[in-house]
Amino acid sequence: MPTPATPGRKKFPADVTVMVRGPVTEAPATLVDLTPLSLEVQSKFRLPLNERVGVTISTKPIRITGVSISGEVRRLREEPGGGYYVRIDFSHSGCPTDRR
């Protein structure tokens, strides 16, 4: 998995907010990478592999509610000092290469 952007440098041109909703809890996460089929976040909470989660992505400069999509936790890596890197693959992306 990629590592977060260097401190002081923003990887994305806008402030992006990510909320991850599991069956028991809802928690904020830091966006690390975003592709059409998945996203990677840094989270303080451990999410079980293959768990279905909901994700809401929004930005502060754009005054919209945000984009919500469901996905499944496909990769989890614990980081020294606490926290986890999590890759979430989107479910039913509609992409022709989506073979789930």
52, 74 contact by CB (below 8 A): no
Angle ∠(61,57,22) on CA atoms, nearest 5: 150
In a domain, 61, yes or no: yes
Take residue 83 and report the two structure tokens written for it.
């926290």
**Residues in the chain, total:** 100
In a domain, 10, yes or no: no
pTM, 2 dp? 0.73
CATH number at residue 21: 2.40.10.220
Compute the distance between CA of residue 4 and CA of residue 57 in angstroms, rounded to an integer: 17
**Quick count: other Cβ atoms within 10 Å of Cβ 53?**
19
Model confidence over 52-92: pLDDT tens digits? 999 998 887 666 677 888 999 999 999 988 899 999 999 76
Mean model confidence pLDDT for the chain: 80
* Total of domains in the chain: 1
Q: What percent of the chain has pLDDT over 90?
A: 37
By three-state DSSP, how is residue 66 classified? coil
Take residue 19 and report the two structure tokens written for it.
């909320």
What pLDDT, on the 0 to 100 scale, is given for residue 8? Answer: 45
In a domain, 57, yes or no: yes
